[in-house]
Amino acid sequence: MSDVVAAAAVTHRVLNRELSWLDFNQRVLELAAEPGIPLLERAKFCAIFSTNLDEFFQVRVAALRDQVAAGIDDPTWDGRSPQQQLIELSALVPGMIERQESIFLDQLTPALAAESIHIVDWGDLAESDRATMRTYFDERIFPVLTPLAVDPGHPFPYISNLALSIAAHVADPVTAERRFVRLKVPSVFPRLISLGDGRFLPAEELIGAHLHLLFVGMVVEEWAVFRLTRNADLTLEEDEADDLLEAVELELRKRRFNRAIRLEVAGGIGDELLDLLVRELELDVRNVYRHRALLDLSCLWQLHSIDRPDLKDRAWPPTTPGRLYLAEGADRSIFSVMRDRAVLMHHPYESFSSSVEKFLDQAATDPRVQSIKMTLYRAGGDSPVIQSLISAAERGKQVAVLVELKARFDEANNVQWAKHLERAGVHVVYGMVGLKTHSKVILVVRDDGDQLRRYCHVGTGNYNSKTARLYEDLGFLSCDNEIGADVTQLFNHLTGYSRSEEYRTLLVAPRQLKNQLLDLIEHEASFGSEGRITLKCNSIADKTIVEALYAASAAGVQIDGVVRGICTMRAGVPGLSDNIRVRSILGRYLEHSRIYRF
């Protein structure tokens, strides 16, 4: 157990959710310092730590600030008020950032240099390199820059969320007038600009070295890089919305102007520049984080794309599940394999493309298929799944898709996919009021001649080609009659207007799943020391479930948890959780499957 979690008060039965999340992100960061991991993979983990922390501030810290602003001081079930949580988080985060920068500057940077990979400053460049970079600046960067000065006719500019910016003071040598200027570093060119020989120059360094070309005849007195984080959560009044799609689009436009939460600045920023930023952005100085390394180290993902297989994990080509592979060789469809018996797939070790995507592709082109229904939570970019759905609709099949518009940070992407699908003739439903539809389910109805048969896919992973290669997940293909009947009922509930009914084979949240898990835990407790529970999941943070597990532990049940992220349950505490053990698995793939064994 790390110091982050150990900081939680031991007098409470549970750990704090936010502190537990910080502990998880600390574990991610420590992978960047692990010498047994290939170098560019370590750089990747350093980048993931940054993007994780961005999301934490945008959502969790922002929510706590909202509670404090609203005067809410009710303690969470670990005994902390929102204000107390913010105080503890503010005390811990700077140390985590310092640890990240130490790993980057003192470990990764020298190790990368030893492999002829360098992130350089403008001052490190020879004149010939500077000439090359000046040409790049003139041709690729200068035309898209927009300096914004602050004066009586130009108010302080809008600063977009997570955008890298340059703040500067510029003076007129004739009149001695001074202006504050903000310059956004656009994302239309790489953050790390390659010099072609393993050296990379940060874009802000190149722009900073050429500010005089933007302010002709002026003196650039000082400049510094900064980055703003805003509250990124959506506030939807779903019960009052006439059109959920329009409501989400409106909130996405409003979210751009949400309250500032965090200001990151270069360590050498001057006091005058910093004071102006803090004042204009209406921030408290306690929300300012100084950095001695590059701001936003998620740019290290760019290094991970370098063609250096010797510095990365050995490629793992996914295999086609055995029975599907044999069927393909015999020119048999996936439907015929499913009629023989169900198929359990383990991604990414087994290919998502040659199983789930091919299942949908065959469903789209098979003339015997009459309808396709599915849920979409995160579809990703250029999606073969979406193309199959459109192809099916164009062939006259009945296609219905529930697109969850409230999938965090994928809202805009899902809005566009929903419109794209509708234009192709797909029946699109936008989710359920008050709930997020997080299930991953496909239902294909096919006329097999002897009967209409329902072919189903149920999985733990998103229908997303990119994450399917990075996330560890399970998928299940079946044409079992009872599963098919349950999935049919589920879609009737999701797309129609009905009360949820009891299912025969599925456990559907929020009505059945939690209660059934509690019953299973209680049943296992009845066996005392002969009982055994194993849980593999993303998080354990439900009070009722945690208390039930404590009770089972007290009854003698041996409980093992494999929990990737948040875990508010305290393991191995005498008199509370003697028989509970929890470990977190982090590594090459993101552990995303959920498995509960009793």
Chain segment 306-353, per-residue pLDDT in tens: 999 999 999 989 999 999 999 999 999 999 999 999 999 999 999 999
What's the angle, vertex CA 586, arms to CA 582 and CA 588, rounded to 5?
Answer: 155
- Tell me the C-alpha distance between 492 and 502, whole Å: 13
Give kind and range of the element (H or E) at residue 97.
helix 82-102
| Contact in structure between 514 and 542 (CB atoms under 8 Å) | yes
The pLDDT value recorded for residue 1 is 47
Q: Return the amino acid letter for 80.
A: R
- What is the C-alpha to C-alpha distance for residues 564 and 421, in angstroms, rounded to an integer? 34
Look over the chain and give the mean of its residue pLDDT values, rounded to a whole number: 93
513-597 sits in which CATH class? alpha beta
Count Cβ atoms within 10 A of the Cβ of residue 504 and give its class: 0-12 exposed, 13-18 middle, 19 or more buried. Answer: exposed
Residues 6+ apart with CB under 8 A from 423: none
* pLDDT number for residue 359: 98
Residue 590 contacts residue 472 (beta carbons within 8 Å): yes
481: nearest Cα among 451, 461, 437, 507: 451
Cβ-contact 230, 258 below 8 angstroms: yes
> For residue range 102-160, what is the model confidence (pLDDT) as tens digits?
999 999 999 999 999 999 999 999 999 999 999 999 999 999 999 999 987 788 999 99
CATH 3.30.870.10 range(s) for the chain read: 322-495, 513-597
Return d(Cα 59, Cα 162) in angstroms, integer. 13
DSSP states of 171-234:
E-TTT--EEEEEEE--SSS-SEEE-SSSEEEEHHHHHHTTHHHHSTT-EEEEEEEEEEEE----
pLDDT surpassing 70 at residue 237: no
pLDDT in tens, 462-492: 999 999 999 999 999 999 999 999 999 999 9
3-113 falls under which CATH superfamily? Answer: Polyphosphate kinase N-terminal domain (1.20.58.310)
Q: Sign of the CA dihedral 92, 93, 95, 100? A: positive
Residues known to be catalytic: 438
CA 532 – CA 123 distance, rounded (Å): 62
CATH for the stretch 120-283 = 3.30.1840.10
Q: What is the pLDDT of residues 525-550, one digit of tens each?
A: 999 999 999 999 999 999 999 999 99
The band of 7, judged by pLDDT with boundaries at 50, 70 and 90, is very low
- In the predicted model, is pLDDT for residue 274 greater than 50? yes
Q: Whole-angstrom Cα distance, residue 304 to residue 44?
A: 6
Query: How high is the pLDDT of residue 10?
Result: 44
What CATH superfamily is the domain 322-495? Answer: Endonuclease Chain A (3.30.870.10)
pTM for this entry: 0.92
Percent of the chain past pLDDT 90, that is, above it, reads: 84
Beta strands in 448-579 (DSSP E): 452-459, 471-478, 532-537, 558-563
Positions of CATH 3.30.1840.10 in the chain? 120-283
Q: For residues 503 and 229, give the distance between their C-alpha atoms in angstroms, rounded to a whole number.
A: 44
To which residue do tokens 């409003």 refer? 254
Residue 41 pLDDT > 80, yes or no?
yes
How much is the pLDDT for 242?
A: 59
pLDDT of residue 8: 42
